[in-house]
Amino acid sequence: MRVWITHHLHSLKIALGRLRASSAASLMSVLVIGVALSLPASLYVLLANAQRAAGNVSVQPEITAFLKLDVDDMAAEQMAQALAKRPDAGAVTFVHRDKGMDKLRKAGLGDVMAGLSSNPLPHAITLAPTGADPERIDRLAAELRQHENVEQVSLDANWSRRLAAILAFGRELVWLLAVSLGIALAAIIGNTIRLQIYAQREEIEVSRLIGATDRFIRRPFLYFGLLQGLVGGLAAWGMVSLLIALLDGSVARVALAYGTRFSLAGLAAQETLILLGLACVLGFTGAYLSVTRTLRHFN
């Protein structure tokens, strides 16, 4: 066990030395990795903030249930009270038919209303469901349509459907960018490692002559790729944090103009660890594939 740890520490020391020796080239590679990783990470953060902002908007989808004309006042009020007890119904408002008539008179239709012998308007119950999940809103509207006292249900949830579709598209775009750029980064890191291997080809051949195995030769290059990925991941985290800091003031001013307060949130600790872990995996994978293929070519 001690020998194994000693070998890995020795390989890590060699990788750090190579990273310092080729500081200019390593810096360029780290910047490329950081920029490539920051693109899907930034989009992910902006989508997360957009979803958080959507939960704070004051405009909510509304469901209006128009009751049958023969439903009396007591039955309509009891139905509204029963709906108000449901956790998914949100704010429930009972609109009496007389109140609806008053609104029409105030809208300038008093002359038309005066010619009617009775009030033709039904009672109405308006619901403002909690959240903006289109499927949950549809289920609630469907249940209201099945109620014996309901004549018609009007659903105003188009904006929530559009928002859900946009956020779903954004999440798919994040995954597509992450996979595409991840493959490109693995290839870039692998190419960097391959150039190093060719530059040290004579040293590798001498090491083989004195009994060094491919695993021993490969290990420092794997650590080099892993370190490049880690530093590139830190650079990506810094770029995302800088982007959030630059945009936060503008977003706060826009939110204040709409009478609310909103502040952009960056990557959480768990999300940062995932970003760094993915960067290390990409660096290690690119280095492993490149070293294995190049050493096989030498053989």
Examine the pLDDT at 201 and tell me if it is beyond 70: yes
Last residue of a domain, one of 131, 156, 181: 156
**pTM for this model (two decimals):** 0.62
Asked if pLDDT for residue 250 goes beyond 70, the answer is yes
**pLDDT attached to residue 22:** 67
Q: Which of 5, 153, 6 is nearest to 65 (CA)?
A: 153
**Residue 74 maps to which CATH number?**
3.30.70.3040
Q: Phi and psi at residue 22, in whole multiples of 5°?
A: -110, 55
Q: Which is it for the CA torsion 80, 84, 85, 86, positive or negative? A: positive
Beta strands in the chain (DSSP E): 62-67, 91-95, 124-128, 150-156
State which of 156, 171, 192 marks the end of a domain.
Answer: 156
Please identify, among 156, 189, 222, the residue that sits at the C-terminal boundary of a domain. Answer: 156
The 10 Å Cβ neighbour count of residue 114 is 8
Assess whether 50 and 85 both reside in one domain: no
Question: Residues 45, 171: one domain?
Answer: yes
Co-location of 150 and 168 in the same domain: no
* Number of structural domains found in the chain: 2
Higher pLDDT, 53 or 113: 53
Region 76-100: mean pLDDT is 81
Query: What's the pLDDT tens digit per position in 10-67?
Result: 667 776 776 676 666 677 878 888 888 888 888 888 888 877 776 555 446 778 888 8
pLDDT tens string 160-172: 667 777 777 888 8
Residue ranges making up the domain that contains 250:
2-56+162-298
DSSP state of 270: H
Encode pLDDT of 128-177 as tens digits: 777 666 777 778 888 888 888 888 887 766 666 677 777 778 888 888 88
Other beta carbons within 10 Å of 228: 29
Note the pLDDT of residue 97. 77
Q: Is the pLDDT of residue 247 over 90?
A: no
Where helices occur in 2-118 by DSSP H, the ranges are: 2-21, 23-54, 73-84, 97-104, 110-114
